[in-house]
Every structure is written in C-alpha cells, then in structure tokens.
Amino acid sequence: MGIPKSTLGTTNLKKAPAGRVIVFSDEKTWTVDPVRNRRNDRYLTFGEVDEDVRTMSTTKHPASVMSLGFVASNGKAMPLIWFPTDYRLNAVDYVKILQEKFLPWVQESFPDNNVVLQQDGAPAHTAKVTQSSWGSTCSFGPRRCAPPEPDANPLDYSFWVQVESKACTVRHPNVEALKTAVNEEWNRMTTDYIKRTCSTFRKRIEAIIAANGGYIE
C-alpha cells in the first residue's frame, strides 16, 4: 500500500538529508494601483467625502506585470525575474529561465547541490519538457508540495505580502516605477527574516494535513 498523498509532504521532509536547503518558488502579478487592506472598513457616501476619512482610489484596468521569485530556507533570495507586460509563462520559457538564471544561482549559492526546488503544479512547472530538462541539466530535481497552495508556500503566506505592503502603498506612475519599488523591498528582506519564515513551512504542512487540506489562516 502506498503512502497517502496527504502525508507526502512531511514524509519527504523527514527523509531529507541533513543540511538540505529548500528553495521555494512562485509567480506574482503586481499592479500599479496601491494595495488595499481588505480588512479595513468600507466608507460609502453619496455626498462629499469627510476630510477625516482616508480614501484610496483604484483604476478599472491598472497596468500590471508578473515576477518570478526564488527564496531559500537558509536565508538567501535570488533577484526577482520580471516578465514583459501581459506575458503568460509557458514551459519553454520556464526551462530557459531555470537553465540560464536559476541553475547558475544555485551552483554559486549551493555548490554541494544539497538542495531541492519546491514548486506548485502550474502547467509550466509540470509540463513534460520541464520535467525532462531536469535530468540533463542538474543533479537535483524539483518536487511538488502535497498540501494545496498558498498556505504551504512562504512566498504566498509571507514574502509577497511583506514586499507588497511596503512597495505598493501608493499608485506608481508606470510599471518601471513599480518594479523598482518592489525590487528595493525584496532586496531589503533580511537573512534572518527569510530563515524564520521558511522554518514555519513544516508546521504549516502539518496543520494543513490536520485540517484535511483545509484553509489554516
């Protein structure tokens, strides 16, 4: 009898060699509009706006751009990779990114190759061309976390939120200004913060399993 899918995440962690570094990856779409705290109260008026009430306007179709981020459980973060506006990531381009940008960073940062890439089930990640490229280009491979995203990915439950809360408080005049602000906050993340955030990964997987795959936030 095989291992239940719900326990694969913790089983992989327990069997991991000592000192293994987990590299987490994720894509995110950013817009030039300021970020609104969804927990704030709404203010509705049909007259003049009270001067004491802070307002935030948004546009119907704000300019946007997508980035790809990699962070490691030992506290390192690879510089963000940016895509053209309105771009949709495909498997061929993803393989090119892995070969030309990700792998050189891994080889420089983790020369012993005691590392594993944690990624979700996006089509570009699971395509045959992507999977077949691993064996011919490196001595380590990717794995997919059994519990659902975003609760099990540090980029989703912390890093993106942290960067967005700092870089996207005001409307940016254009995409380039947005990218500059995001890059600045991304580069400000400390080694200690990254390590502490990634260290909660296993506990979050266990909590997801205990919740039968349900939402844990």
Listed as own residue / partner, the contacts of 168-176 with beta carbons closer than 8 Å and 24 or more positions apart are: 168/30, 168/33, 168/34, 168/35, 169/34, 169/35, 170/34, 171/32, 171/33, 171/34, 172/32, 173/32, 174/32, 174/63, 175/32, 175/63, 175/64, 175/65, 175/85
Evaluate whether residue 38 is within a structural domain: no
**pTM given for the model:** 0.78
- How far apart are the C-alpha atoms of 25 and 198, rounded to whole Å? 12
Is 216 domain-assigned?
A: no
pLDDT at 87: 93
pLDDT of residue 3: 31
Asked if the structure places residue 119 within a domain, the reply is yes
Q: What is the pLDDT of residue 8?
A: 42
CATH number of the domain that 188 lies in?
Answer: 3.30.420.10
pLDDT tens track, the chain, 217 positions: 333 344 444 445 555 566 789 999 999 999 999 987 654 445 555 556 555 545 555 677 899 999 999 999 999 999 999 999 989 999 999 999 999 999 999 999 998 888 999 888 889 988 999 888 876 555 555 655 444 455 678 999 999 999 999 999 999 999 999 999 999 999 999 999 999 999 998 776 766 666 555 555 6
Residue 46 belongs to a domain: no
pLDDT of the residue at 12: 52
- Model pLDDT, residue 112: 87
Domain tally, the chain: 1
Domain coverage including residue 98: 21-31+57-211
SS3 138: coil
